[in-house]
Amino acid sequence: MRRNQKCIHLNLDKMKSVITKLLIILCFTFSIEIANAQVQIAEGDPPNNTDLPFFFKSKLEHIDEELALVEKGKVEAVAISPGGLPVYAVYYGEKEEFHSQANYNSAVAARNPAYYAQKGPDTKPVVFIIGPVHGQEVEGIVGVVNLIHIAETGKDYRGRDWSELQQKIEQCRVIIIPCANPDGRRRCPYDSFLGLHEDMVTKYGQGTRKDGSMWGWPGAKSNHPMVGDVGILGSYFNDAGINIMHDEFFHPMAAETKAILEITRKEAPDMTVTVHSHETPPAIYNPMYTAWYMKERVYDLEKRLNNRYKEAQLSFTPDSLLRVPRKEDDEFPPHDSFNLVCALHNLSGTMAFAYENNDGTISDRIPEPFVTYEDILDIQLLLYDEMLDYALNDRLYWTLEE
Ligand SMILES: [Zn+2]
């Protein structure tokens, strides 16, 4: 009887995996249509870069192609966007049994997060990587597609050996959402912003009003959901105008957000990153509404990563400009928001932070890009390597033992 049950379980698992793969192949088959649905570049704006190297896999169809090759991991569609696109997650490593008897905040109130999840030395660290929630931050897709390729083959798409990184992945449970906002990515007409003016990110990222003026940053957050006075709906948002970073976390508006919260709640990740891009050197951003000891850990990782960039002669932040942890708003009006990263920490205790790639844009302040295509990939793979090192070697154990 038990054996039969196991068989049924295995068959169900297999069926799920077959259905997911079929879905991916279907999406892949229709990927030409997906590409066609991308917003056209407006007249007068520079064309898409035509010199993209083979490894610079920043499109939704690149995700579909990669997921169709996954054998070591398990692929699941975790949400469907308002635009009808699947949001995928790839899982590496078996999920551990954490013997949960309370939700996180209740466990903390009982003075021990182990009531929520018992994570002792006998369990693997869990690392959760959330690819772009902002669709114009296409660089993040390049990083995670190559990371999945490394998990599968030990090599990135340049053929470079990353077998040590692959081994670290094998020692953890790693969950990767390659793109958390496929609607936004589909509406972004550029596959790279390297060498383009930062106004192009602002125009297609944060979007425009009906009169063509740009919503800009942080103006694009002043109208949410982004509906009404909208010319170009920025790739920041899903097709319903939701910015996942600033969803309503106690009553989520977006299916994408719900899926991210649910994975976090169930998986109790030791570490979680949401991947973004900006115009200045790559950096980790400490969230505001998290426990102080966690801010110190994030700052520690930020320094380690920055040193790694220095050693590798990649774009880095001068020490004097590193973001020393600070307390949230102490005066009115407030400007430190309880965003997605804060929500994930408070939901699960995870060491959560935002990571900003460099997008290679130029402006009056930045006449030359900080990075090359190669650099954009390397800075991300080094981030993942540092994150896994930290999760494996500097883990906080949660146990019920005295
Ligand atoms: Zn962003």
- Count Cα atoms within 13 angstroms, Cβ side, for 14: 6
| 398: in domain | no
For residue 28, what pLDDT is reported?
53
Residue 91's domain comprises: 2-39+53-393
Would 100 be classed as within a structural domain?
Answer: yes
Among residues 129, 105, 93, 108, the alpha carbon closest in space to that of 398 is found at 108
- Centre of ligand 1 to C-alpha 185, Å, is 12
Give the pair of three-digit tokens for residue 303.
């320094």
Which stretches of the chain score pLDDT less than 50? 1-8, 10, 31-36
d(CA 73, CA 93): 7
CA of 244 relative to ligand 1 center, distance in Å: 10
| Listed residues: CB within 5 A of ion ligand 1 | 134, 276
**What spacing in Å lies between the alpha carbon of 276 and ligand 1's midpoint?**
4
Question: Could you tell me the distance, in angstroms and rounded to a whole number, from the CA of residue 130 to the centre of ligand 1?
Answer: 12
Residues 267, 76: Cα–Cα separation, whole Å: 15
Considering its fold, how many domains does the chain have in total?
1
**Count of alpha carbons within 13 Å of 217, Cβ hemisphere only?**
16
- How remote is the CA of residue 359 from the centroid of ligand 1, in Å? 11
CA 137 / ligand 1 centre spacing (Å): 6
Indicate whether 401 belongs to any domain: no
> How far apart, in Å, are the Cα atoms of 344 and each of 156, 173, 239, 273?
29, 17, 23, 10
pLDDT recorded at residue 330: 85
Q: Please tell me the predicted confidence (pLDDT) of residue 35.
A: 43
Ligand 1 mean position, distance from CA 245 (Å): 8
Query: Is residue 399, in this structure, part of any structural domain at all?
Result: no
286 CA to centre of ligand 1 in angstroms: 14
Classify burial at 240, counting beta carbons within 10 Å of its beta carbon; exposed 0-12, middle 13-18, buried 19 or more.
middle
CA of 399 to the centre of ligand 1 (A): 35
- Return the CATH number at 132: 3.40.630.10
Interval between CA 22 and ligand 1 midpoint (Å): 31
Task: Give me ligand 1 centre to Cα 134, in Å.
Answer: 5
CA of 91 relative to ligand 1 center, distance in Å: 23
What separation in Å is there between the alpha carbon of 357 and the centre of ligand 1? Answer: 9
Q: How remote is the CA of residue 277 from the centroid of ligand 1, in Å?
A: 6
Does any domain span residue 400? no
CA 307 to ligand 1 centroid distance, Å: 23
* Cα 141 to middle of ligand 1, angstroms: 13
CA 198–ligand 1 middle distance (angstroms): 14
Distance 246 CA to ligand 1 centre (A): 11
Instruction: Please indicate, yes or no, if residue 402 is contained in any of the structural domains.
Output: no
Ligand 1 centroid to Cα of residue 354, in Å, is 9
Report yes or no: 179 and 130 within 8 Å, Cβ to Cβ: no
Alpha carbon of 172 to ligand 1 centroid (Å): 27
d(C-alpha 72, C-alpha 355), whole Å: 26
